[in-house]
Structure 1
Amino acid sequence: MGCAKRFSFELFTQEEVSNMKKSFIKVLFLFAALIDTCTAPVFKQQYGSSRIKTPYGEMRGLLIEFPRHSNLQYVEGYFGLQYASIQTVSLRFSVPNTPKERWNIVRVFKNFNGPVCTQPKVRTKRLNVLLPEGFVSKFERLSSFAHKITEDCLRLNMYVPKTGKCLYF
């Protein structure tokens, strides 16, 4: 039978993994810089006046006002809306189902406290070396929202302008 050839079932070489990690860090840095430039202070929050009727029940959001000098329109925010459900892990990678959640009262979607999709653990010691000062603390603050991690995390935050035209994607 002679010498058997040794096969390796590794998908990537160490060098490829190292390059992917470097690319991931670059994307993470770009994302952090983008978030930093796309934020505005909130001037005032109060319950929105609009009530929206859906097949799941009636809902209401928060009216969010920004300072006048920011030139931003008021928006109504609806936080943590469930748009689909996977219901069981066995349905992973299949088409999601419509949510089964229903309510009989006017539900106010005022904060996002729903489940979060699975996230990789960030090693902050390594990021402190690679990223500018202050960026790592932002990631640590964001990670505090990841208190309930589950596969059934199909929720979104929706912002609706109070005046003017809506932008659709």
Structure 2
Amino acid sequence: YGELSGVIVSLGRNLENVEVFRGVPYASPPIGTLRFMPPVSSARWHGVRVADKFSPVCPQKLPSLTDKMPKGRLDYLRRLLPYLKNQSEDCLYLNIYAPVQGANHCEPRYNSYLYNSPHPTKTIEQFNFVCI
């Protein structure tokens, strides 16, 4: 865990831009002695991690593409196939989509307490936060 740098993506259609953080480690790689064990927190990284690339997906059987399926599904699977081919047991990553920092309409609507906070009695309004 640590600081991240993402990419800003325009979604068009009157939607606001979002900042995308791709391939953020969720846990340490589940390989070796960690295989088939509960997830272990990932190590802290130093500096700013550039989160602009998708990480591998977990091993899975690829879908069979056939002209007998609906055209929309076939087109969708063809677009996904390059990402699905990049498979690894080291696949515990998140892709996070958040409003671009500085969006002034993003405020907590009620008291929300931070999970695992060193100050469990403080509400989220008392910390810097990213509204997701």
Aligned length: 105
Structure with the greater alpha carbon radius of gyration: 1
- Give runs of aligned pairs for residues 88-167 of structure 1, distance below 5 A: 88=31, 90-100=33-43, 102=45, 104-112=46-54, 114-125=55-66, 128-129=67-68, 131-162=69-100, 163=103, 164-165=105-106, 166-167=131-132
Q: Which has the higher contact order (CA 8 A, sep 6+)?
A: 2
Structure 2 CA distance for partners of 1:66 and 1:136, relative to 1, 3 Å = closer
Q: Which has the higher helix share?
A: 1
Give, in whole Å, the separation in 2 of the partners of 1:147 and 1:120.
Answer: 10
SS of 1:144's partner is helix
Structure 2 CA distance for partners of 1:66 and 1:106, relative to 1, 3 Å = same
Q: Which residue of 1 aligns with 2:110?
A: none
Taking structure 1 as the reference length, the TM-score comes to 0.53
Q: Quote the offset at 1:80 in angstroms.
A: 0.7
Structure 2 CA distance for partners of 1:66 and 1:150, relative to 1, 3 Å = closer
CA contact (8 A) 2:2 2:44 kept: no
Moved beyond 4 Å, runs of 4+: none
- Give runs of aligned pairs for residues 2-151 of structure 1, distance below 5 A: 56-67=1-12, 70-88=13-31, 90-100=33-43, 102=45, 104-112=46-54, 114-125=55-66, 128-129=67-68, 131-151=69-89
Report the identity percentage. Answer: 35
Structure 2 CA distance for partners of 1:100 and 1:87, relative to 1, 3 Å = farther
Structure 2 CA distance for partners of 1:134 and 1:109, relative to 1, 3 Å = same
Q: CA RMSD in A?
A: 2.2
Taking structure 2 as the reference length, the TM-score comes to 0.65
Q: Quote the offset at 1:86 in angstroms.
A: 4.1
Which consecutive residues of structure 2, in runs of 5 or more, have no partner in the other structure? Answer: 107-130
